[in-house]
Structure 1
Amino acid sequence: MRLSRVALVPVVFLAVCVLPFAAASPWAALVLLLPLAAAVWVLRVGVDVDDEAITTRGVLGQRRVAWDDLAGIRVVRNARLRLVTRGGGEVRLPVLRARDLPRLAGWSGGRFEVPQPPAA
């Protein structure tokens, strides 16, 4: 799962906005690195799920957690998700939120289930 490519629209808007400032001097052209970095982030960051593991991808690297090494999933502040490994470590899931848990459970092939809220 990746961010929607629609997220590149504000990046293009940012590039257009900083273009006059960047044209002011050769050193000011360095601000064009900001939209470039934002575009790389939108295109690179995400989560891949396959039969063997969950792979989280960041701008500079990736981390692969095998299903056998997964102890659970923790919901932290702002409904963000973290994988909890059997060794006690945590791995951030960059683009997934608590609302994505049912979809992640489906991708896992039944390796975990999402608890349902109690009936009122």
Structure 2
Amino acid sequence: MSRTETVRFRHSQALLVAAVIAFIGTLPLASIRWYLLPLLLIPLAIGVWVWRAGTEADARGLRLRALVGQRRIDWERVVELAADPRGRAVARLDDGEVLVLPAVRGSELPRLVAVTGRPPSDPTG
């Protein structure tokens, strides 16, 4: 049984620490009145998003994870991997759809391409 290498990209754990601090900071405000309790859901949702969201890549394809749900994309559907002007990594699919890869920066594209097992194509033709 062969084991495939999986590369995981996640958001900085400093964001998780910030969400915990925001949750603790919101406690006094939320405890003043019962209708302010939903304010606690904001830092809680941010903490879950940081813990869960990201991109995983292996020889078969990409798995994009968000706060709720995930999407699996085979490498055969990916036409191009590039960086957008904001420095985020994006994937263009065969149907023209452009997906921002969560937690992947443009500078990390060589790591992402290396896991595909295919050499990068020459953009000059």
TM-score above 0.5, yes or no: yes
Contact 1:3-1:42 within 8 A present in 2 as well:
yes
Return 5+ residue gaps in structure 2 as ranges: 1-8
- 1:33 aligned partner: 41
- Among 3, 6, 9, the residue aligned to 2:14: 6
Is the alpha carbon distance of 1:111 and 1:43 closer, same or farther for their aligned partners in structure 2, counting shifts above 3 Å? farther
Cα distance in 1, alignment partners of residues 59 and 113 from structure 2 = 12
What is the RMSD computed on CA atoms of the aligned residues? 1.8
Contact 2:88-2:105 within 8 A present in 1 as well:
yes
Cα distance in 2, alignment partners of residues 85 and 110 from structure 1 = 17
Cα shift at 1:74: 2.8
Cα shift at 1:114: 8.8
Cα distance in 2, alignment partners of residues 93 and 15 from structure 1 = 27
Contact 1:50-1:108 within 8 A present in 2 as well:
yes
- 2:4 aligned partner: none
User: Could you give the per-residue CA deviations for residues 28-68 of structure 1, whole angstroms, max 9, x where no partner exists?
Assistant: 11100011101111011100111211111111221221111
TM-score normalised over the length of structure 1 = 0.85
Cα distance in 2, alignment partners of residues 57 and 5 from structure 1 = 16
Is the alpha carbon distance of 1:98 and 1:114 closer, same or farther for their aligned partners in structure 2, counting shifts above 3 Å? farther
Cα distance in 1, alignment partners of residues 121 and 108 from structure 2 = 12
* Paired amino acid for 1:23: S
Cα distance in 2, alignment partners of residues 26 and 114 from structure 1 = 60
User: Could you give the per-residue CA deviations for residues 76-116 of structure 1, whole angstroms, max 9, x where no partner exists?
Assistant: 1311111111111112101111111121122222353698x
Return 5+ residue gaps in structure 1 as ranges: 116-120
- 2:62 aligned partner: 54
Aligned-residue sequence identity (percent) comes to 31
* Paired amino acid for 1:78: R
Deviates more, 1:95-104 or 1:4-13: 4-13
